[in-house]
Structure formats: structure tokens, C-alpha cells
Chains A and B, each alone.
Chain A
Amino acid sequence: MERLTTYEIFISLIKAGLKVTIQVTFFAAILALVLGFISGLARMSRHRTIRFISGVYIEVFRGTSLLVQLFWIYFALPMMGIRLSALTAGVLAIGLNYGAYCSEVVRSAIQNVPVGQTEACIALNMTKTQRMVKVIIPQAFVMMLPNLGNQLIELLKSTSLVSMITLTDLTYQANILNATTFETTKVYTMLLVIYFIIGLPLSKGVKLLEAKVSEGRV
């Protein structure tokens, strides 16, 4: 077989696997954000049952390993009659896992909004919902942005795990390419470079956000 150049390997990896990696990252990130907000707010609910349920969700998904969750959803759930496609299983596992981590980000940001803000809302006769939606969450959201960005970078890296449930992402394609061309060094070096290229703007963005958010604050 003709030897492939480094450039050709780079291109064929991107052509074959980038779409799935971006897809999984995108959908899992949205799921994680939504779950993070719901469970983060639920964790602070007045009702014990709601607090308890969200606590169980958060601790179970933070306390066990992502790969175990992924395998459980993909291999064990079918035994209970729930058969999911690899893409759904991957998005679900990563979304649920990172949702649990995001909930802590959401919760701690909301708790870090100064008490005076709540008091002012009460003084202005706002309802609880108004207080949350119009005053507390907008301020908390700005504070949580850098942390959410960091979670997104971790999430992007974790999408490589979906290659282990046969989803054809970048890592999966690299394994295939390695097996067919034996260009091991080039393939895995390029794979690292591609992940780095996708991740770098994200981490630079987070740095910028961090600076922006702390601007003018003590």
C-alpha cells in the first residue's frame, strides 16, 4: 500500500470523524446545560423531595465513572428493553454526566449572588419567579460562564469515549485508519493535533471570558 503523508492523514481524519465529534459535543452540551440548570435549581428547592431527587441524580453521576455510565446505557439498558442508538447513548451518557457537574456550577454561582439582591427584590415586592428570572439568574449566569466554558472543554475531550461504543467519531476513525495503514505515529499524532486545534479556541475563549467577567469587580 502507498504510504500516506501526514497531511493526507490529517485531512482524512477530519473528513471521516469531525462531524460526529462535533455532533456529540453539541447535543451533549445542550443536554448538560439544561440538566445542569434544572438540577442546580432543584437542589435549592424548598421541597425536600425535589432536593433529594436532584441530589441523588448529581451524586450518582458524579460518583461513578463516565465510561461506566456509557457502557451501562449502551450495553446494559437493552437488557431492560431500552435499546438506544450509539449516538443517542453517547449524547445521553455525556449529557447526564456533565449535567451533574454543571448543576454544581449553577448552584454555587446562584448562591454567590449577594444577599442584598434578594432583599432588594423582596423590598420591591417582586414574586419569587420574577426575582430569580430578572435579578438573580442574570447575575449568576455571568459568574458561571467561565466555569461552564471549562466544562465544555472537558466535555469535548470526553466525546472521544464514544468511540468505544462504535460511534464513528475522530478517535474511532483514527483507530480504523491505524489498523488499515499502520501509520500509527502519524495517525495518533494528528489525532492529538486535531483535538488540540478544536479545544484551543475554547480554552482561549474561557480565559477571555474570565478576564471580562472579573473586570471592574473585586
Chain B
Amino acid sequence: MWNWDYAFSILPQILSALKITISATFVGFILALFLGLIFSVLVRSDIKIVSLAVKGIIQFIRNTPLLVQLYFIFYVFPKIGISLKPFTAGVLGLGIHYSTYLSEVFRSGIEAVPAGQWEVAKALNFSHIQAWIKIILPQVIPPIIPVIGNYLITMFKETPLLSAITLVEILQTAKILGAGSFRYLEGFTIVGIIFFLLSYPSSQLIKKLEVRLGAKN
């Protein structure tokens, strides 16, 4: 049933595809952080239309499947003149999808900062931007780091979806190898083990961090 020789023979190819998986995770994550922060600031905008529109966009993105969004970006964007490579489209999809989750995290983090902090900033004659950068964000970020870390792991586990838009990451590599040899067991098992070996220790690390941060406050 399980063939060790075959498993070892495909291992290097799967491992080399891991580069794609990991770089898609990180590029997507950076994009998600960036867009998430923008969304969370825009939702707080004083201009009613802006905050309502952004809320609507976030709702829509959160309530529709990432897979369909990927298809949309990969197949519909070219119709309006934007042809993207699978990697770019995938990273964009991942980044946009998770930015809506992260914006929620940022929002709750921002709301947890006491109003007095804003008043102090005003009293000290800080500009709005200065208040954000020097007073508010430094208090927002540390407590939400574990939550953000968990989203990084979640995104990592979502990257196999990018195989649907022809990106050859680890799952797609295993699938291609399986289709060539009619042996799927080894390839998919290896991919599962790789995901587990990377995500489980990371999540334990985040748990430790959470306890530590909790103890600090």
C-alpha cells in the first residue's frame, strides 16, 4: 500500500514546491496586513459614505468563498484588461480575503484603546497622524500579535486553494505526481505532514506568546 521508495523519490520535488507555498503565504500576509489596516482606518472615517461603503465591501468579501474570489480575480480580471499570473492572482486573492478578517482584529484593537489616550494626544497638541503613529498604534499592536499570528497560520493552510488557479504549489505538485504514477497516497500524505510540521509548532509558539502577553498585562 505505502511505498517508501516512491515516497522518498517524490519528496524532493514536493519540498522544492514548498518555496512557492511559503512565499505566497508571506506576500499574501503582508498585503492582508496593509489592506486590513487601511480598511480599519476607513471604517472609522467621519465621512458616512466612506465608512458605509467600506463596511459593505468587507461584508461581501467575508461572506463569499475565497475559492470563488480566486476564480474571479484569475478569470474575470483579464476581461477588463488585467491579466495576472497565477501567483499574483493568488496572492491578491489571499491578501484581500484575509485583510477583511484582519481589519476586524485591528478594529477591536483600536477600540480597546481608552478614549483618554486620544484626549491626551490632543492635549499635548499632537497632530492626528502623530497621535496614530506615536500613541495609538503602539498600544494597539502588542495585544493583537497572537491573533494576527493565528491568521498567518490560517493563511498558510489556505494556500492549497491557489492550485485551483493553476499555481503549482505543494498540493498541486503532489497531484501532478500522483496523476503521472496513479499513486496519490504518498504525495498527499507528505503534503499533509508538511503542513502539520510547519503549522502545529507555530500555533504552539503563538499560544506561549499569548500566555506571556497575558501575564504582562
Chain A residue at minimum C-beta to C-beta distance from B186:
A76
- The residue that B76 contacts in the complex, of A63, A67, A184, with Cβ under 8 A, is A184
Q: Report B155-174 CB contacts with A as 1/0, cut-off 8 Å.
A: 00111110110000001000
Chain B positions within 8 Å of A75 at CB level: 175, 178, 184, 188
Q: For residue A66, which residues in chain B have a CB less than 8 angstroms away from its CB?
A: 157
Task: Check: B189 CB closer than 8 A to any chain A CB.
Answer: yes
B32: CB under 8 A from chain A? Answer: no
B126 within 8 A of partner (CB): no
Are A71 and B68 in contact, CB atoms less than 8 angstroms apart? no
Decide if A72 touches B188 in the complex (CB within 8 Å): yes
Q: Within 8 Å of chain A (Cβ to Cβ): is B66?
A: yes
| A80 and B185 form a contact (CB under 8 A) | yes
Contact partners of A158 in chain B: CB under 8 A: 65
Report which residue of A59, A68, A159, A163 has the largest number of chain B beta carbons within 10 angstroms of its beta carbon.
A68
Contacts of B164 in A (CB 8 A): 164
Minimum CB distance partner of B73 in chain A? A188
Picked from A76, A159, A178, the residue with its CB within 8 Å of the CB of B189 is A76
Given A71-B171, A71-B175, A192-B72, is A64 in contact with B64 using a C-beta cutoff of 8 Å? no
B-contact 0/1 string along A33-69, CB 8 Å cutoff: 0000000000000000000000000011011111111
When distances are taken between beta carbons in the complex, the residues of chain B under 8 Å from A164 are: 164
How many chain A residues touch B (Cβ–Cβ < 8 Å)?
39
CB of A203 within 8 Å of the partner chain: yes
**Number of B residues, CB within 8 Å of A:** 39
Question: Mostly helix, strand, loop or mixed at chain A's interface?
Answer: helix
Across-interface contacts of B66 in A (CB, < 8 A)? 157
Given A67-B171, A68-B188, A69-B192; A189-B65 close (CB under 8 Å): no
Q: Across the interface, name the chain A residue whose C-beta is closest to B72.
A: A188
* Residues on B with beta carbons closer than 8 Å to the beta carbon of A160: 65, 67-68
A4 at the B interface (CB under 8 A): no
Contacts of A65 in B (CB 8 A): 157-160, 171, 192, 195
The segment from B86-94, B111-119, B196-204 that touches chain A is B196-204
Chain A residues with a Cβ under 8 A of chain B: 59-60, 62-69, 71-72, 75-76, 79-80, 153, 157-161, 163-164, 171, 174-175, 178, 184-185, 188-189, 191-192, 195-196, 199-200, 203
Beyond the given A63-B195, A79-B184, A196-B60, please list 4 additional residue pairs across the A-B interface where CB-CB is below 8 A: A66-B157, A69-B192, A79-B1, A185-B79
